[in-house]
Amino acid sequence: MDKVKWDDLQRFFSLNKGKMIGGIIGFLIGIMVLLIGFLKSILIILFIVVGYYIGSHWDTKKDMKKILDRLLPKHFK
């Protein structure tokens, strides 16, 4: 690819980053639903969201005990 086309492609991706990420996520979720079914896909997505939430709080150095206390029911404490 010559330099001009590569620069145009990079500019397009930088201006439409959210659309590109959303499209890729939608494509992957669609493939998951087709391969393993709707409910299993929802369960996997739920685990990913919970893992992301815990990981983002871990990165900001918040107390993990407080996070788990908020997430887990009382009988697990």
Mean pLDDT of the chain: 83
17/7 same-domain check: yes
**Element (DSSP H or E) covering residue 43:** helix 38-59
Q: Domain range spanning residue 61?
A: 37-77
Q: Per the structure, how many domains does the chain have?
A: 2
27/43 same-domain check: no
* Per-residue pLDDT reduced to its tens digit, 16-28: 888 888 889 999 9
Beta carbons of 41 and 33 less than 8 angstroms apart: yes
pLDDT of residue 77: 58
Measured distance CA(62)–CA(65) in Å, rounded: 9
52/76 same-domain check: yes
55/74 same-domain check: yes
- Please compute, for residue 64, the number of CA atoms within 13 A of its CA located in the half-sphere on the CB side: 5
Measured distance CA(74)–CA(53) in Å, rounded: 20
Position 1 pLDDT exceeds 60: no
77/43 same-domain check: yes
Under DSSP, the state recorded for 77 is: -
* Per-residue pLDDT reduced to its tens digit, 5-61: 888 888 888 888 888 888 899 999 999 999 999 999 999 999 998 888 877 777 776
